[in-house]
Amino acid sequence: MDFALTEEQQLVQQSARQFADGKVAPIAAAIDREHRYPAELVAEMAQMGFLGMCVPEKWGGAEMDVMSYAIAMEEVSRACASTGVIMSVNNSLVCDPLMRFATDAQKKQWLTPLAKGELLGCFALSEPGTGSDAAAQTCTAVRDGDDWIINGTKNWITNGPQADVCILICMNDRSMGSRGIVSFIVDMHRDGVRSGKPEDKLGIRASGTSSLMFEDYRAKDSERLGEVGGGFKVAMSTLDGGRIGIASQAIGIARAAFEAAVKYSQERKAFGAPISDLQAIQHKIADMATEIDAARLLTWRAASLKQRKLPFGKESAMAKLYASEMSARVVHQALQVHGGYGYVTEFAVERHYRDQRITEIYEGTSEIQRLVIARSVLKEFAAKV
């Protein structure tokens, strides 16, 4: 057993931290306040290879391991969770399914520019009336000769307002249920698709979130990703990996809040001494530190399983569930440590508190994670009975 980081992983951690501290953190409050998409940070991440971290060099990526990706996601999200999710979507929800399902021709056309950051991607599964019950797709793809005609609306699409490319999941044959689903690589600059008005969100306000409207969008069959009927598998296997990214994001947010609480508690005096001398504060700090470590270990375990191409669905669900809910507890307590100062935007914990909330919802709610884990646990014991 070995919990130490490899040299490469340490280097990634250092460069990600340097970028996050030097470039991201200084503007994080402003881009949150202004709802401004940080194009300049995305461009820098492209330079660093952070937009296609696990994509082979052959396809324009940085060819790093999944742990390195989790590490970098944590560091970037610690500075700015909005920037973190932009990165996570391009890596986990766009490059990853292309790596696993795209043909070489598709990889050449789409994966390489996405991995290099020349194009930005988004992933479209949810709909106005379809969330956790992801198989209930109403957006349709209908055959038209060699082409497909796509109609419907997708919701909550991170990077939707900015994306050049979309991995779309939609229904081909409703009678087949989850086996009637198909996936496409959508060119967002083509006619027939447009993004809606950016959502006005509680947190991660510098990342763009919008709906996507498809009106007779014409896709070539060569733009289909995976098999006809295989779209649900594309979506679910993609989300398994995405959960590692979101877990890392949640840990990054928690760490930011935790570190702010540690610092504040050493500066703030009450009863003639720093509040860090008070056991009531110390034990909060201890709980936060312990749970952050626990979440990170769960996340890195899932990452190392994915890296080895071993089953990791249950483990990534555990990582995402635990990390996101841990993060909720940590931002809550960090704000508490700050007292009134934690409630005003001048202090970063206020933003961390808002940013954290979505991590329990997107890429599978906590309720869905628990369902996935419970089924897996029961299956293990059913096999033993």
- Active-site residues, by number, are 363
Nearer to another protein, 136 or 373 (CB): 373
- 116-129 b/e (C-beta count within 10 Å ≥ 16 → b): bbebbbbbbbbbee
Report the nearest approach of another protein to the CB of residue 337 (Å). Answer: 12
Least Cβ distance, residue 373 to another protein (angstroms): 4
| 121 half-sphere exposure, CB direction, 13 A CA radius | 31
Q: Which of 289, 287, 319, 288 is nearest to 303 (CA)?
A: 319
Pair type for strands 224-225 and 209-220: unpaired
Binding site for another protein (CB under 8 A): 1-3, 67, 259, 262-263, 266, 274, 276, 279, 282-283, 285-287, 289-291, 293-295, 297-298, 300-301, 303-304, 315, 318, 321-322, 367, 369-375, 377-378, 380-382, 385
Closer of 106 and 304 to another protein (Cβ): 304
Which tokens go with 279? 């056991």
CA-to-CA dists, residue 372 to 88, 235, 324, 365, 376, angstroms: 22, 15, 16, 11, 6
Provide, rounded to whole angstroms, the least separation between the CB of residue 86 and another protein. Answer: 26
Quote the least distance from Cβ 53 to another protein, whole Å: 17
Nearer to another protein among residue 3 and residue 271 (C-beta): 3
Residue pair 87/47 in contact by the 8 Å Cβ criterion? no
Beta carbon of residue 210, minimum distance to another protein (angstroms, whole number): 32
Q: Which residue, 200 or 267, has its beta carbon nearer to another protein?
A: 267
CB-wise, 70 or 193, nearer to another protein? 70
Contacts of 208 (CB under 8 A, 6+ apart): 37, 158, 159, 160, 161, 162, 198
